[in-house]
Chain A
Amino acid sequence: MDRKHPSVSTKQSARVADPNDPHPHPVNTRTPEQPPDSGASSPRALSSRNDHPQVNQPSEPPKKKPSQAKKLVTNLVANLIKAEQEKKSQPQPGCEEAAKLASVGSFLSTFREKAAKYKPVGTYQSRAIIEVQRYLEEDLLDDRQDPLLWCLITAKVPCGLLRRAISTTPRKDLFWERDPKSGYGKKIKFSKDLVIDGFTALKSELRMLKREVVEHWESDPVIVTQPGFEHKVWDFEKPEDLNTWTVTSDSDHSEGYSKCTLSMSPEGHGLFSGVLSTDVPKDGVIKRAGYCSIRSHRARKSFKRDSYLDWSNFTHLVIRCRGDGRSYLMNVATTGYYDQLWNDVFHYPLYTRGGPYWQVTTVPFSKFFFSSKGRIQDIQHEVDLEKISNFGFTIADSINGPFRLEIDYIGLLSDPSVQETFAYESYRLPKGIAAT
């Protein structure tokens, strides 16, 4: 702590002495230790610094002036540090007793004594030199930038720490996911509209809560499903039905050039269409591109609490659609609680016939295979049908060109004759082969 304070105060005082600074800082008034003549000399000295953006370069034409100014400022800073230190070292009445109490009977007392002896303190002069040097090494502020902003930053973070915080290298978190969206998506800024939206949502949320309470007291859940009957989960009869879907493509994050929409088709069904493009943006990071996808909104309870869809009574997924001959991917997401489970998705391809005829595709849930972030996982397991969070379609077949998938409904089917729980082998692999 004792290192932080002098650095902050020196910076501010030195900054205020700058004649180019249009906003004199009030900190200046709080430094009575400042000699009266230094205030007059430092502006002159610092103005020469401002004339030459690269101060550190030894080949600067006015050689003497900066060195003199540096000396002056260093002395000034040394005085400041000294004053600060003296202020601190003055024993406060309450503290002394507490220190005494702590030292008595504590096995750490000898350690503290020794540590204090070996702690490198340095003279006020040497510390001032370091501070001033660090300040000089810092790049000059841009003319267009607000100098107040700079003061704000430096008031909080000392110079050395500030440098460390600004880094162009992205963090690589191998084991821990910071964010459920893996860095995608916008950061929500607090605004007035947000408050208004929050209060507007109150009405619908309360209605939802009421329904939940009534449902809870009725306590009449669906226990048995009739075999062979399709239970529609999502359909596209009204344009409002489109609002429960999120449409994304790689161009949303400047990672490609694919475009897609979800709209109502002329015949009155959901239409997922767009143009897929495998062109890779030339930013040196993206290796491959070309996906479009729709995804249902997360199942939730009132007041934006997460919940799950329970499909455990059903065995098959039913989709009535009309495609264009391309293959799509059906995604059943089972987002879990822990960060490792955030990206759990089960896939199965949806092959479309193409042509004017509708097709009804029935896929057993046992066929869905497990992947995370688009990579098939070594250790496979079946879908936990009680914990479905989202459902969606993706197209990423690397065929450039327009696609069109007309969806009538997405439903569920129960077929008790199906015994298979998982279609893929789940035997244990030899040690060290897969992530065991």
Chain B
Amino acid sequence: MMNNGILRHLAGRGVLWWSISRPAVNGFGQMRLPVVDNSVASSRLSWSQVKWFCTKKNEATKEIVSWSDFQSVEEKSKETFLEMIDIYKVKERLLRGHVEFIYTALKYMEEFGVEKDLEIYKALIDILPKGKMIPRNMFQVEFMHYPKQQQCAIDLLEQMELNGVIPDWDMEDQLVNVFGRRGHPVRRYWRMMYWMPKFKNASPWAVPDSLTTDPYQLAVHAIERISSVDIATKVDIYKTVDVENSLEDTWIVSGQSPDQKELLAKLPKGTPVYVEGRYRVFVQRNAVTYFVLRADNKAQKKPEVENYDDLSNMYIPLFSKPRGDIALKPTVHEQDDSIILAVCCTGTSSRDSLLSWIRSMEKDNPRLKDLTVVFTLKAPPDETGLTEVTGRNEIVQDSNSKRSEKSV
């Protein structure tokens, strides 16, 4: 356990082990004990599995770094990832091929689901030898002392940045111990520590990074986000089971403010109101489908544009006649050409669930019974509309409908 590094050393001495998965979440880290057991003997992995990808040449593929070994791990989790790092450090006392090891590990972080975990990045930096690579004169500083190792650390930090992981102060100590205060990775670390916290809470519609991929929670977030224009908005949760003759069993997240209720109540009898959709809103990295209940905004007066430079026709409140063009300031829901009456997300985004939404809203908005509700849905709620979306970012709609089908 000698070369287990400064972190483990500190942890062993009872220094706090803070792991901040991302300070943007709550501003506070969670205190954790070191997950990995120090006794390698109890590991689920063998040394050969670890050794292969770092030092030896794979005879079959002639590759120096065999990537198949990270894939060969059966249980891909944070624990096994840390275990592999531990085995490498214990067995490879001379740290042969540590740059290659780190690059390979960086490549497989996403697969193990640890790409946003600061603890893993710190464990990887801990592999680098301490003291040896600190430049001793200005020429060494300027000509990038140990360039491969420095570039490796820079790439590691870049991967952190791309995943939105803000480093902590321990990492500075780690990097300074490896590369000295003039090392390029240290400078990069300082830049990250300056800029990343500046923007972590800059968004006015910030949501926690630890957001679940639970469609229901995402839908609530989405509706709250859309209706943040009116802080009086109340988010209601309906169940389709409560509605008579409904075909599905799913949830409806609906957002409507008192202003919108008033606007709805004022609509003349028989006015057409439209249920429009599927629109898309992104919550963090997830797309959520929502629908709008709206009415045409024909009655709204266009305010006349007053020319303030024209002094010949100036309005003086004391002497002039009362103005005829005065009107109530329109609410935020009266947009350019339509009045937004409500927004919703449903578990299935199907027509039946939207019908249930209208039925559920009738309790609070009795006027809806007198209005003509027109469903103008652009596409039927199936997965074909979402085939163009590729990659790992899952569209919530898909998982939604699948889930509801199962539950039905």
Is there contact, CB below 8 Å, between A357 and B280?
no
In chain A between 213 and 271, which residues have their CB closer than 8 angstroms to a CB of chain B?
226, 267
For B393, give its contact among A327, A355, A399, A434 (CB under 8 Å): A399
Residues of A contacting B308 in the complex (Cβ-Cβ under 8 angstroms): 226
Least CB distance from A384 to B in Å reads 21
- B226 contacts the other chain (CB 8 A): yes
Stretch at the interface among B74-82, B99-107, B199-207, B358-366: B199-207
- A281 contacts the other chain (CB 8 A): no
- Indicate whether A400 sits within 8 Å of B390 (C-beta atoms), given known contacts A358-B335, A378-B191: yes
- Indicate whether A275 sits within 8 Å of B225 (C-beta atoms), given known contacts A354-B281, A378-B191: no
- Indicate whether A400 sits within 8 Å of B393 (C-beta atoms), given known contacts A326-B282, A356-B292, A433-B187: yes
Complex formed: what's the CA distance from A424 to B199 in Å?
12
- Indicate whether A351 sits within 8 Å of B202 (C-beta atoms), given known contacts A267-B336, A357-B335: yes
- B332 contacts the other chain (CB 8 A): yes
Complex formed: what's the CA distance from A325 to B204 in Å?
11
- B285 contacts the other chain (CB 8 A): yes
Complex formed: what's the CA distance from A354 to B333 in Å?
14
- A127 contacts the other chain (CB 8 A): no
Is there contact, CB below 8 Å, between B187 and A279?
no
For A324, give its contact among B182, B282, B292, B336 (CB under 8 Å): B282
- Indicate whether A399 sits within 8 Å of B282 (C-beta atoms), given known contacts A351-B202, A357-B332: yes
Least CB distance from A195 to B in Å reads 43
- A376 contacts the other chain (CB 8 A): yes
- B294 contacts the other chain (CB 8 A): yes
Residues of B contacting A369 in the complex (Cβ-Cβ under 8 angstroms): 195
- Indicate whether A325 sits within 8 Å of B390 (C-beta atoms), given known contacts A351-B204, A354-B225: no
Give the contact-size bracket for chain A: 20 to 34
- Indicate whether A433 sits within 8 Å of B282 (C-beta atoms), given known contacts A226-B308, A327-B203: no
- B392 contacts the other chain (CB 8 A): yes
- Indicate whether A433 sits within 8 Å of B182 (C-beta atoms), given known contacts A349-B202, A351-B203, A355-B281: yes
Least CB distance from A345 to B in Å reads 16
Least CB distance from A103 to B in Å reads 49
- Indicate whether A402 sits within 8 Å of B205 (C-beta atoms), given known contacts A324-B282, A356-B335, A357-B332: no
Is there contact, CB below 8 Å, between B204 and A356?
no
- Chain B residue at minimum C-beta to C-beta distance from A359: B229
- B388 contacts the other chain (CB 8 A): yes
- Indicate whether A356 sits within 8 Å of B202 (C-beta atoms), given known contacts A399-B393, A404-B280: no
Complex formed: what's the CA distance from A260 to B31 in Å?
45
- A70 contacts the other chain (CB 8 A): no
Is there contact, CB below 8 Å, between B393 and A349?
no
Q: Scoring B residues 288 to 327 as 1 if CB is less than 8 Å from chain A, else 0, what string do you get?
A: 0010101000000000000010000000000000000000
- Chain A residue at minimum C-beta to C-beta distance from B395: A401
In chain A between 154 and 211, which residues have their CB closer than 8 angstroms to a CB of chain B?
none
5 pairs of A and B residues whose beta carbons are closest in the complex: A400-B391, A355-B226, A354-B281, A325-B282, A325-B281
The interface of chain B, by Cβ under 8 A from chain A, is 138, 141, 162, 182, 187, 190-191, 195, 198-199, 202-205, 222, 225-229, 279-283, 285, 287, 290, 292, 294, 308, 332-333, 335-338, 340, 343, 388-393, 395
The interface of chain A, by Cβ under 8 A from chain B, is 226, 267, 275, 277-279, 288, 324-327, 349, 351, 353-358, 369, 376, 378, 398-402, 404, 424, 432-434
